[in-house]
Chain A
Amino acid sequence: MSFDVLISQFLGGLSVAMLLFLVASGLTLIFGVAKVFNFAHGSFYMLGAYFSFQAINLFNNFWIGALAGAIGAGLIGMVLEICFIRRISGREEEGAFQILLTYAFILIIDDGVKFIWGPAYKTISKPESLAGALTVGPVTIPTYNLFIILLGLVIVVTAWYVLSRTRMGKIIQAASTDTQMVGMLGVNVSLVMSLLFGVATAMGGLAGAMAAPLRTIAPGTGVEIIIDSLIVVVIGGLGNFWGALFAAILIGEVNAFGILWLPQWASLLSFAVMIVVLIFKSKGLFTREQGRKKI
């Protein structure tokens, strides 16, 4: 096995991992802080892709499309949090209601996009500046995939800065441990939750907008993406932001090299990794078994 094959497989896996992380991080953030399991998180990824498709048709500019995808998905996320999710918070049967409610969102959003954009697949073009490929010796990587990897890294660094170095980050960390206490200290918790929901769904929307030039968008895409994201979130530890990053890279690379060495079994590998992790660390890799949870 030559070194260049390993490098191109690794870089390919990394670009898959970064998109996976963008979706999974929003999912895990909402769970970690708001204790809401947002089954419809994949639908925001889909919405982001559709919004970006629409904006590009109107303005013929990829970056406006990306912005529209993130902001549009984030705004809808906030509206759904304020109008619906907040209403069931604190109820005795909250867990079951969350699944029912967010599952209903999936159906409504799917039918909504079908109503607006029709059932046919949509796809968008890469921006001119990122359409080529970078070739170093025998290794070729499309510029766009490289861009996705860099974007992922920028988001990781930004998230680290916001979560650990800003007041807002500290409030979010505190709220994930004890929401009631944070409220007593004079923080407007419901505002924080709405904002958090908005940011998390905007990250999903951004992932969708970024993935749209590579993939196809169709009604139902949201449900397809949520399974892989769930695997990542479970492996990393429910609610654990850094766990999601590690797990996304793990899954991306296990798949990349699985496809190379064990192509017959490739589609089973992510599940196999999840099973192994759950046997040895039932709460995920990055969750401490007892005591405080760190996000």
Chain B
Amino acid sequence: MNHKTASLLSALLVCFTSAVSFAGETIKIGALYPMSGRGGLYGQDSEAAIKIALQEVNAKGLPGGRKLDVIVTDDQSKPALAVTLAKRYITEDKVKFLYGVVSSSAALAVTEVSKEYKTIFVGTDHAATDLTANAFQKYYFRVSNNTFQSMAAGAMYLQDMKLGKKIAYIGPDYAYGRDQIAELKYCLGKLGANFEMVGEFWPKLYEADYTSYITAIVRAKPDVLVCGFWGGDTVAFIKQAKAYGLFDKMKYFHPDGGGNYEVFSTLGAECPEGLIMSARHHNNWPETKENADFVQKFKKATGRYPSYAAEGAYVGILVIADAIRKVGNADDTEALVKALEGMKMKFPEDPAGFQSYIDPKTHQIVQAQAIGVTVKNDKFPPAKYMLGNFKVYPADKLMPPQDYIDLLKRTKK
């Protein structure tokens, strides 16, 4: 091969592999979810919801006749693995967006990759406030609420309902558990609430047996037990605490992850009545057409009702598609960032008359939060109890104020 042919060939090669978009070419999104182990259900539900969203988006069409495609890989909720996969998505699969992630520690690692490679990362489930506060970077957006929003609503609920001033807390001993109570205390303080912490308990994540914690909590005699578990830990704790009669002795308050549908579907008839909980999405609230449609579509596709992870994974795709439509292509990242900032859209979890929007300053979705109480409801089997008697807190009152973000910046470096 002479020199001329070689350069011609390499010129051709550059043409074919460059970022020039051809009509009909797919726009790739690289999603990371745990598909096995304890968070596996969230990954599976997210993948199912993504498929529903893709069908809708691609049926409606995107500029240039292009289609969205999502690759889902198991990140096992491990930060190091998530980083490797995210980099491979960008350099080898040429994805335009990073997507998903359930574990906050994995998300905090992936947001660094997003920043380094200037690739937009749309977070759909992880809840650490840091990502849209002290660890903010402009290519990161989150379409589900963070723990601060849950705790801000939780603090108002505690005040409004006058549940008592003696508070005990139990939560998993890692950032997610620690952040929740710090945020609740901050929000109660801001509201000028008169409260006293009578105990804080820190079992490890996935602790199998809470017996000794339960007897210690009962002894502390709080008015309210605030709980910060997620998933199977919630189920195990409730079952074990019920046998000790804990729920007759104090109010149980679980404002971030307690009201996830998986908790009700697992507990079935064993779910106690009167537990106060919330979640990032409810299958039976708000009673809007958008929510009912989403829940039914998911049920039809999978044969089961969705856990809260599904809604975030569903709306993230709609948000990305909308941004691409506004910009006219998926290649101008800076324009996409601008399009996403302040974007307003009706989500399944938005009550009538309200639309979620992305806060242009922090890139956090701004959403209302509904806190409910467990009541008998067998419309979503195998659950026998669901949340009811919802109290709704307006979206704009739940965002972390600047002084809290500054506090995080100072203390979490």
Contact = CB atoms under 8 A, between A and B. Distances in A.
Interface in B210-249: 211-216, 218-219, 231-233, 235-236, 239-240, 243-245
Contacts of B38: 218, 220
Interface in B168-206: 173, 199-204, 206
B212 A255 contact: yes
Counting chain B CB atoms within 10 Å of each CB, the highest count among A123, A145, A255 belongs to: A123
A159 interface: no
B40 to A, nearest CB: 3
Contact of A9 (B203, B216, B236): B216
A142 B232 contact: no
Interface string B250-272: 00000000000010011100100
Nearest to A145: B211
Contact of B262 (A12, A120, A255, A267): A120
Query: In the complex, which of the residues A8, A126, A216, A266 has the most CB atoms of chain B within 10 Å of its own CB atom?
Result: A216
B36 interface: yes
Interface string A206-227: 0000010111101111001100
A122 B266 contact: yes
A260 B214 contact: no
A121 B44 CA distance: 13
A110 B36 contact: yes
B245 A260 contact: no
Contact of A219 (B40, B216, B243, B245): B40
Contact of A216 (B40, B44, B218, B236): B236
A263 B201 contact: yes
B37 interface: yes
Interface residues of B, number: 42
Contacts of B262: 120-121
A176 B123 CA distance: 55
Contacts of A260: 212, 215-216, 219
Nearest to B234: A216
B209 A214 contact: yes
- Counting chain A residues whose Cβ lies within 8 A of the other chain, the interface size class is 35 or more
Contact of A123 (B41, B218, B244, B267): B267
A93 B32 CA distance: 38
B212 A13 contact: yes
B202 A215 contact: no
A259 B212 contact: yes
Given A19-B209, A215-B236, A220-B37, A123 B202 contact: no
A142 B266 contact: no
A46 to B, nearest CB: 11
A144 interface: yes
A177 interface: no
A121 B232 contact: yes
B41 A267 contact: no
Contact of A218 (B35, B232, B265): B232
Contacts of B244: 133, 140, 142
A125 B204 CA distance: 24
A10 B35 CA distance: 39
A130 B122 CA distance: 48
A158 interface: no
A267 B266 contact: no
B267 to A, nearest CB: 7
A19 B207 CA distance: 14
A224 B208 contact: yes
Contacts of B231: 121
B38 to A, nearest CB: 5
Interface in A101-124: 110-111, 114, 119-123
B200 A264 contact: yes
B37 to A, nearest CB: 4
A267 B36 contact: no
Contacts of A266: 201-203
Contact of B208 (A121, A145, A211, A264): A211
Contacts of B37: 110, 218-220
Interface string A250-283: 0000011001100110110000000000000000
Nearest to B40: A119
A240 interface: no
A16 interface: yes
B232 A216 contact: yes
A267 B219 CA distance: 19
Nearest to B267: A123
Contact of B212 (A9, A140, A224): A9
A153 interface: no
Interface string B50-79: 000000000000000000000000000000
A88 interface: no
B90 to A, nearest CB: 28
Contacts of B199: 263
Given A12-B212, A214-B239, A267-B203, A119 B44 contact: yes
Contacts of A126: 243
Given A119-B36, A121-B266, A263 B236 contact: no
Interface of A: 5, 8-9, 12-13, 15-16, 19, 110-111, 114, 119-123, 125-126, 131, 133, 140, 142, 144-145, 211, 213-216, 218-221, 224-225, 228, 255-256, 259-260, 263-264, 266-267
11 contacts: A9-B216, A12-B212, A12-B214, A121-B235, A133-B245, A215-B208, A215-B209, A218-B38, A220-B37, A255-B212, A263-B200
Given A123-B266, A140-B244, A220-B36, 11 more contacts: A13-B212, A114-B40, A120-B262, A123-B239, A123-B270, A145-B211, A214-B211, A225-B208, A259-B201, A259-B216, A266-B202
Minimum-distance CB pairs A-B, first 7: A119-B40, A142-B243, A216-B232, A220-B37, A256-B212, A12-B211, A121-B232
